[in-house]
Amino acid sequence: MSGHSKWATTKHKKAANDAKRGKEFAKLIKNIEVAARTGGGDPSGNPTLDDMIKKAKKASVPNTNIESARKRGSGEETGGSDWETIVYEGYGPNGVAVLIECLTDNRNRAATDVRTAMNKNGGNMADAGSVSYLFNHKAVAVLDKGDNTEDDVLMAVLDAGAEEVNDLGDKFEVVADFSDLAKVRNALNEAGIEYDSLDPDYRADVEVPLDADGAKKILRLIDALEDVDDVQDVFTNMDVSDEVLAELDD
């Protein structure tokens, strides 16, 4: 299993301080607004919105903020922004490929802020298509193990197009093609298996192994990018071993 997967499961630890929590709240609220605009404001008829609301509640986003975002997105309240998704591409230190997913109402601001964060932290922007071809668009569900075995989860999602189930320690990760996201969601629900998150992800075919020094540089770049208001997520092809992760935790 790649360190990228394991790193993804520990990212929530970084949200402990108030500044990170505030940024995480803003991301989740944006996602609710976009989901409501795209698929309607009724969570019972909009599974993506339902997922986003549950995720926000798990992160302790206040219900008033959640409800306001849902209403803005659905048009029940005025004041919603015209969000659009833009993916920027680049390279970080050690030649690590980086995809930066933004949700913004101002393309120029997003481009400038992302470029500044890259330039200040050893990264370089790249032309569209020059990095993205290294990645596959996936749907990734993360769930607590509970009473389920790996085989239980695999049997539940296999017919829905799931490609693999990975053991992440105290959690399982289900990976499927992005086009099968809805099928995987339905399969987990039908099997009565609750999940923490089910999100689009980008996974690379070829990963770049990093030592502790290289990992620190990339994580510094990821932190800088995630501090940009318009950035929703950052994907890389770094591979961090358990030993290096242990070094970083020291």
Tens digits of residue pLDDT in 145-161: 988 999 999 999 999 99
Q: Which residues pair with 135 in a beta bridge?
A: 204
Cα dihedral 28, 110, 209, 161 in deg (nearest 10): 50
Q: What percentage of the chain exceeds 70 in pLDDT? A: 92
Q: What is the pLDDT of residues 72-90, one digit of tens each?
A: 999 888 877 788 999 999 9
Q: What is the pLDDT of residue 154?
A: 93
Tokens at 226, concatenated: 């995630």
Residues of the chain with CATH 1.10.10.200: 3-74
Higher pLDDT pick, 80 / 12: 80
- For residue 191, give the amino acid letter: A
- Global pTM? 0.86
Tell me the pLDDT band of 23, cut-offs 50, 70 and 90: confident
Tell me which CATH homologous superfamily contains domain 84-133+206-249.
YebC, transcriptional regulation domain (3.30.70.980)
Give me Rg for the CA atoms of the chain.
18
The CA distance from 145 to 167, in Å, is 9
> Which homologous superfamily does the CATH classification assign to the domain defined by 3-74?
Integrase, N-terminal zinc-binding domain (1.10.10.200)
Describe the strand order of the beta sheet including 162-167 as a list of residue ranges: 162-167, 171-177, 135-144, 197-204
Q: Which CA distances in Å does 140 have to 101, 144, 165, 166, 185?
A: 16, 14, 10, 11, 10
C-alpha count within 13 angstroms, C-beta hemisphere, residue 205: 6
* CATH value of 134-204 in 3.40.630.30, 3.40.50.300, 3.10.129.10, 3.30.70.980: 3.30.70.980
pLDDT score recorded for residue 17:
59
Question: Residues of CATH 3.30.70.980 domain(s) within the chain?
Answer: 84-133+206-249, 134-204
* pLDDT above 90: residue 249: no
pLDDT exceeds 50 at position 205? yes
Closest-CA residue to 73 (of 42, 45, 109): 42
Mean of per-residue pLDDT scores for the chain:
88
Asked if pLDDT for residue 110 goes beyond 70, the answer is yes
Q: What is the pLDDT of residues 206-220, one digit of tens each?
A: 899 999 999 999 989
